[in-house]
Amino acid sequence: MTKNINIAIDGPAAAGKSTISKRIAERLQYIYIDTGAMYRAITLHVLNNGREALDHLDGLDIRFSNDTNRAIFLNGTDISEKIRSRDVTANVSEISSISAVREYLVKMQRVIADEKGVVMDGRDIGTTVLPEAELKVYMKASPEIRAKRRLKDENQRGIDVELSTLVQQIIRRDDLDMNRDISPLKKAADAILLDTSHMSIKEVEDKIVRMAEEILKGE
């Protein structure tokens, strides 16, 4: 029986990757790594300090808390809320496409995953970051479904935004992610495609956990 495996979950913005990955990690008692939050952290850093900040990435300290809140810290400061701002959301795809940023974070993510027992979500985990992951899942849903999910999150945070605006933002984000030169968003050849449009969070969670358990049992 395999002791632990690495699970790579990819997909477009607002596909539910982070929510599902957190729940799977909790179920399996694995480490959850929110790579999207890491890219957002660097985007926030660049917005606050200018493009010249990209020349000093090695000086950044990005960490996640160990509690259920999974707060993210940049150089000791909790930036969990700030990285979800509209400015960061509007710029994260462009910053993520910069080779120096991707190389820096991919190296960090691979080191974390070396010991196995990691659930990592993003847009190029199965294709670039962890191509040897034992379980790869590509989650998708229509732009309209994803926009409704994002609208719910924004409303819960007290942000008023039109659904049509979110649909357009998501379509634009998909285009940027899928057509960037470095590590574009795409399904890994050996990833399992999972359309979550009409699935509940619990249904998605249970399905992926069952797949992981089959691998762990050697089935």
Mean pLDDT per 10-residue interval, the chain, length 219 residues = 87 92 93 91 96 92 78 93 92 91 93 92 94 97 94 89 94 91 91 95 97 89
Domain 6-216 matching CATH 3.40.50.300: the answer reads yes
pTM of the model: 0.83
How far is 110 from 106, CA to CA, in rounded Å?
A: 6
User: What dihedral angle (degrees, nearest 10) is formed by the CA atoms of 200, 201, 206, 208?
Assistant: 110
Where are the extended beta strands (E) located within 2-152?
6-10, 31-34, 62-64, 72-74, 77-78, 118-122, 135-140
N-term to C-term CA, the chain: 9
Both tokens of 10, joined, read 């990819």
pLDDT of residue 68: 67
